[in-house]
A and B are shown apart, each in its own frame.
Chain A
Amino acid sequence: MNGDLVNGDLVNSGHSINPIGTDLSSAQSAASPGTARGSLLEARELFRAFGNTPALQGASLSVAQGEVLAVMGPSGSGKSTLLHCLAGIYTPDRGEVWFDGHRIDTLGDNLRTEMRRTDFGFVFQFGQLVPELTALDNVALPLLLGKVRRKLAYETAQSWLVRLGLEELGARRTGELSGGQAQRVAIGRALATRPKVLFADEPTGALDSLTGEKVMDLLVSTARQEGTTVVVVTHDARVAACADREVMVRDGRVAAGYGAAAAAR
């Protein structure tokens, strides 16, 4: 653990932004000639099929450090599969995924799991919270899993609930919260470990439009304050309008003219 709680924020004294930090030294690292300038995360010619059904067919994409990127596309276009490959949840059948100068698609399961827990945060449409646990427990959980001391984990979780306007709800089980409240808890849980990248898959898909807007505003503004890169999959143009840039995925590929990171364009 290399973090200290200062003024309610977890401040790191180590080289990593997050308090835990995956050691990717065993991964292939490269200032590869093909690495896009300013890119934190990159997919290169990804192919992935489920049985005989192709989901990705040569998808390439790069995301700049601190960028908020919306991934759009029709249902079944492969946008969620692309997100899962970028996040190390799926491994592509072919192609490469690079994160922070390291190739991650070839990492073993343990290292990828570690990386997901420490370097990445996730907000899904629903289902990522443990309904039997309180809001405070849910936000503290990833810190405890990362072996942060219990007292510090709970202090950090509490500071996130305050920041997200949920201080009154810390003792409530998340199964008893409204959809919007639960997603705010999910944002706190995803950002509590100070990940480098936050992945969100239809984060407002189960919310009414006004609540969805508030949740999206909160997600993006908090991530920007933290300097966290965000990749959000959405079919909703109003969600995409909160991002710095959008890409369109069609038939398993990123549509022409959309793939390069903002910093590289």
Chain B
Amino acid sequence: MSVPLTLLGLLDREPSHGYDLKRDYDAFFGRGKPLPFGQVYSTLSRLARDGKVTAGEAEPGDGPDRKRYAITEAGREEVETWLTRPAEPEPHLQSVLFAKVVLALMLGRPAADYLDTQRAAHLKRMRELTELRRSGPTIDVLLADYGLFHLEADLRWIDATEARLGSLAEMVRTS
């Protein structure tokens, strides 16, 4: 999750105060991990420095920062580019697991047991997400679905790897 780009995207709706941005970020994207106020204002300062947003005059009232921020044309282009460019597919977990499996086979360790342990951990997390999607609001359901589909893909990889452990072990030990 890119905080600067997400805040820029929120500003693309309408000029907003830092407080409003934090509130909307927490409601839609924070999901149990609220954005600290300090990070909101430091991010807005950097975006202003880089010409992506402009800060209005300080408005009278309480609070640390009563400036209204507005997105610039450069900022709007950046949001547009970010939205239209596909995210980098990152098979991150597989690469860690792949390394573990290959090393386990090289070292004569029980790779199948390690895969079982990982499968159990994945299914435990899937149970938690399944419960979340059963009782949560639509946003939670969609986020849980995202997690579930990714975990399911990992599990498929685990199953496929387990089925090929024999040939992989042979390759690893003879090379």
Question: Taking beta carbons and an 8 Å cutoff, which residues of A are in contact with B?
Answer: 74, 217, 237-238, 240-243, 246, 248, 255-257
Contact = CB atoms under 8 A, between A and B. Distances in A.
B65 interface: no
A241 B147 CA distance: 13
Contact of B123 (A217, A237, A255, A256): A237
B130 A238 contact: yes
B155 A237 contact: yes
Contacts of A237: 122-123, 126, 151-152, 155
Interface of B: 113, 116, 119-120, 122-123, 126-127, 129-130, 134, 148, 151-152, 155, 159, 163
Nearest to A236: B152
A74 B134 CA distance: 28
22 contacts: A74-B159, A74-B163, A217-B134, A237-B123, A237-B126, A237-B152, A238-B130, A238-B148, A238-B152, A240-B123, A240-B126, A241-B123, A241-B126, A241-B127, A241-B129, A241-B130, A242-B127, A242-B130, A246-B120, A248-B116, A255-B116, A256-B113
A238 B159 contact: no
Given A74-B163, A248-B119, A257-B116, A238 B134 contact: no
Contacts of A248: 116, 119
A85 B155 CA distance: 28
Contacts of B127: 241-243
Contacts of A238: 126, 130, 148, 152
Nearest to B152: A237
A102 B161 CA distance: 41
Most chain B CB atoms below 10 A, which of A237, A246, A248, A255: A237
A240 B152 CA distance: 11
A138 B33 CA distance: 50
A243 B148 CA distance: 15
Contacts of A74: 159, 163
A4 to B, nearest CB: 33
